[in-house]
Amino acid sequence: MVIESFSESILKIKDKLNSKELALLRGSLSMAIQEICPNGVLPKNNEELSLFKEYAYLISRIQNHNKISETGVNYFGRPSFMTDKLLNQLINEAKNEVRPRAIKQIGHYLGLGGTIADRIALSNELNELVTTYTTQSTPTGIASYLFYEKVGDGLAAHVDTTSFSINVNINLWHEAVGNKNSFLYVFDINGKKMRKYYFKPGEIMITYGDSIVHGRSQLSVNESIGILTIGFTPRG
């Protein structure tokens, strides 16, 4: 008698799940990962490490994204349309218009939208960049500013919701007195290796956010980070 593994059982039925069932499965796996690996540090316990790798493997495959990168990152760089002028406009909007109304979340402040952010979210330039490095996609129109400001701020290991199936992460600033210790971390699609990313202002990362485990390490003293995240969904 052959006993199937948990992963094998899930992968056999994934194409029969509707969108709500798939979202529930993804959310459950994300919560399990947060319990096992809350701060991006692989567990030392062999059983937990094995579970983490299995969950990361499952998450990367249940969405059927055929262009997902092995590293989890499809693009990292500063495109030509992200000029100094545009970057400064986004920084000004973030600091002076959005931050005063931002809402406290666990590990950061969240501010929705803004004239400049919303324009970028629906722009042809960003859509072309996303399409080039992922697949034909539709912008969700959701643009969110995130502010990390005090010691201990950060984001636990997780996967994104459907609204950020494709996640565009734009760094606006990373200010620090001394070393810049906080980084964005991304696990490869098998959960075996974690890579650290230190952004320069204007740099953009594109990932299949609903399929890769990622988060932000905690801030140290006198460190501040501002980012803009924009969501896309694959067509078809």
Residue 159: give its domain's CATH number: 2.60.120.620
Per the listing, tokens 């931050």 go with 99
pTM, two decimals, is 0.92
Rg, Å, the chain Cα set: 18
Count the alpha carbons within 13 Å of 51 in the hemisphere toward its beta carbon.
Answer: 15
Task: Beginning with the edge strand found earlier in the chain, give each strand of the sheet holding 166-176 in spatial order.
Answer: 75-77, 204-207, 166-176, 223-234, 137-148, 108-112, 103-105
Residue ranges in the chain modelled with pLDDT below 70: 1-4, 236
Distance CA 159, CA 210 (A): 5
| Predicted pLDDT at 10 | 84
| Predicted pLDDT at 1 | 40
Coil, strand or helix at 86: helix
Domain hosting residue 216, numbered range:
1-236
DSSP secondary-structure letter at 100?
G
**Number of structural domains the chain divides into:** 1
| Predicted pLDDT at 84 | 98
Coil, strand or helix at 140: strand
